[in-house]
Amino acid sequence: MDDSVEPSVIVLGGAILDMARGTLTRDGVILPLRSKSFRLLCELARNSGRVMSKDELLGTVWPGVIVSEDSLTQAIRDIRRSLGDEHQRLIRTVARRGFILVPDAADPPLAVAPVVGGVPPLWRRPHIAILPLANETGDPDRGPILDGLIEEVTNGLARFRNLTVVARHSAFAAARAGLPLSGIGARLRAAYLVDGTARLVGGQLRIALALNDAATGDVLWGDSFDAGDSGLLALQDLVPRRIVGRLFTTIEEAGYRSSLHRGPGDLTAFEHLARGKALLRSYGPGVNERALAQFAAAIEADPAFGIAYSYRALASLSLHDYGLAPQEVKLGARADAMQGVELSPDESRCHGILGYCHATLGEFDAGESAATKAVALNPYDADAQFGLAIVLVWRGDSEAALGRIEKAKEMNPLWPIYYDSLHSEALLFLGRYAESARLLLRLPTLSPRQEMRLAAAFALAGETGPARHHAARARAAQPDWDFVEMARIAYSRRSSADVQRLIDGIKAAQNLLAEG
């Protein structure tokens, strides 16, 4: 973007700040704001997306005048009151640093800053519109039910705060104007469009959906969902959750694929995040380091992109083998995760990752509280359910964790493979050893520690051959490791009964290996 182009009109929630005319209005009515507060708002707007220190703001708004920070705090409070920003989505406090204006938190990014030369602002989030379903059931009375389903999907997708979802009434109005998909996309300024049909198959309702690239018309994803015997209940519950999960995952994948065709300097914060998450979910040498670099680049592109801080926390723990990470790494990860929550308080994944960071430090009450809030903020997010399961397993409640894991898998039938690793761990701690082993075998590659955990599960299940085989693989990969001591360290914050069960299995597997 050309830095010389500065927007004079910025949309802030339902208000419009016109810096050239010196007005802040909502629905044509001027909002009351004292002169210093208005000047402060203009300074934040000119520097939107950048943290401004308290000293910088005091020197700019109150030049040559000695005032306390209370004056700044009061002015910020006045602005938030005028904007109706009680939840601090627009003007955010960055601990020990200052304040940042993030108009993107509530408005379409294209209304905030002009696009120059076809290059979008680096903090731009993807826009998506969910269009009404074509009712091909032959029953016009089903129309309101189908519209209700799309409204549920729209609201569910909007809970993923790093997307911008077009309001239902706008999407429906554009779709019913008779425009082609490209025209609908242009009118709604949406990068992605979802359309579909509803028909009866064997007397049961089937919803077919497609995610389209609005610019090219390419179909990026398509799937069908059956209401089944549950009928209306499924349309209100399971079907929307599955649709929302698949849509969000596919949009992230589309962002990742599009990023591969452009240089690093042209990527948006969202695309850096998508690259980092793809790396974090993959296997191979150097992937964690590269993921960390992508999350750092996302933060540089948008310093207020809270979820990038959260994933940087997760990547740093991954780089140091999670439970084996040094104390200073765990504390640093928790600090990053707390920053993520402060910047994006409505983003469920930030709370979920914070919960995990608390758990690595043995702070289980705080961890479960954060993970539970993540589920409350976004019950459509399979990862939020899974994050709560992690904390429950770690604090020794694997029975409750199983329900969360199964719910996460139900919501996302294409779950990432690390779901199976935790699922296997929970089953082992519950004494379901054979199931635990079979589930861990699904992973495409196993670390030496996972090989030994698999050997332990087989040994506890009485399957001596597989136990000996996988213990040998673990020992061959790391001949100098003390796997028992490593388990004690990695699981030091866990339930003592769970730790002892695992250690007993490791010892049994190693004894089988020694016996030949």
pLDDT digits (tens, 9 = 90+) for 118-174: 333 434 567 889 999 999 988 888 888 888 888 888 888 888 877 788 888 888 888
Nearest to 254, CA basis, from 291, 224, 288, 210? 210
Counting every residue written for the chain, the total comes to 516
> CB within 8 A of 502, min separation 6: which ones?
428, 429, 453, 456, 487, 491
For residue 362, pLDDT beyond 60:
yes
pLDDT digits (tens, 9 = 90+) for 2-45: 333 344 567 787 777 877 667 787 755 678 888 889 889 988 98
- Mean pLDDT within 371-389: 92
- Mean pLDDT within 244-265: 72
Percent over 90 (pLDDT), the chain = 36
pLDDT given at position 366: 96
pLDDT given at position 266: 62
How many CB atoms within 10 Å of residue 450? 17
pLDDT given at position 340: 93
Instruction: Return the residue matching tokens 């076809």.
Output: 118
Looking at 3.90.470.10, 3.40.50.2300, 2.40.50.140, 1.10.10.10, the CATH number of the domain 9-109 comes to 1.10.10.10
Q: What is the rounded distance in angstroms from the CA atom of residue 303 to the CA atom of residue 358?
A: 23
Superfamily of chain region 127-241+252-257: ABC-type transport auxiliary lipoprotein component (3.40.50.10610)
In this structure, what is the dihedral angle of CA atoms 245, 131, 190, 157, given to the nearest 10 degrees?
Answer: -30
For residue 94, pLDDT beyond 50:
yes
CB 248 within 8 A of CB 162: no
> CB within 8 A of 154, min separation 6: which ones?
130, 165, 167, 168, 171
What are the extents of the domains in the chain?
9-109, 127-241+252-257, 262-414, 428-516
pLDDT given at position 106: 38
pLDDT digits (tens, 9 = 90+) for 285-338: 788 899 999 999 989 888 888 999 999 999 999 988 888 889 999 999 999 999
pLDDT given at position 265: 62
Q: What is the rounded distance in angstroms from the CA atom of residue 153 to the CA atom of residue 131?
A: 10
Classify residue 89 by its DSSP letter. S
pLDDT given at position 29: 66
For residue 229, pLDDT beyond 70:
no
For residue 113, pLDDT beyond 50:
no
For residue 271, pLDDT beyond 90:
no
How many CB atoms within 10 Å of residue 505? 25
Helix and strand counts by DSSP (H, E) for the chain: 22, 13
Per-residue pLDDT band at 238 (split at 50, 70, 90)? low
The reply to whether 262-414 shares the fold of 127-241+252-257 is no
Nearest to 159, CA basis, from 412, 419, 375? 375
Mean pLDDT of the chain: 84
CB 10 within 8 A of CB 45: yes
- For 128, the 3-state DSSP assignment is strand
For residue 348, pLDDT beyond 80:
yes
Residue type, 411: M
Q: What is the rounded distance in angstroms from the CA atom of residue 389 to the CA atom of residue 419?
A: 10
- Mean pLDDT within 342-362: 92
Nearest to 454, CA basis, from 427, 482, 417, 478? 427
> CB within 8 A of 372, min separation 6: which ones?
355, 388
For residue 423, pLDDT beyond 80:
yes
pLDDT digits (tens, 9 = 90+) for 390-414: 999 999 999 999 999 998 988 877 7
The class that CATH gives domain 262-414 is: mainly alpha
Nearest to 501, CA basis, from 403, 406, 423, 396? 396
Q: What is the rounded distance in angstroms from the CA atom of residue 476 to the CA atom of residue 446?
A: 13
* Burial grade of 141 (CB within 10 A; 0-12, 13-18, 19 or more): exposed
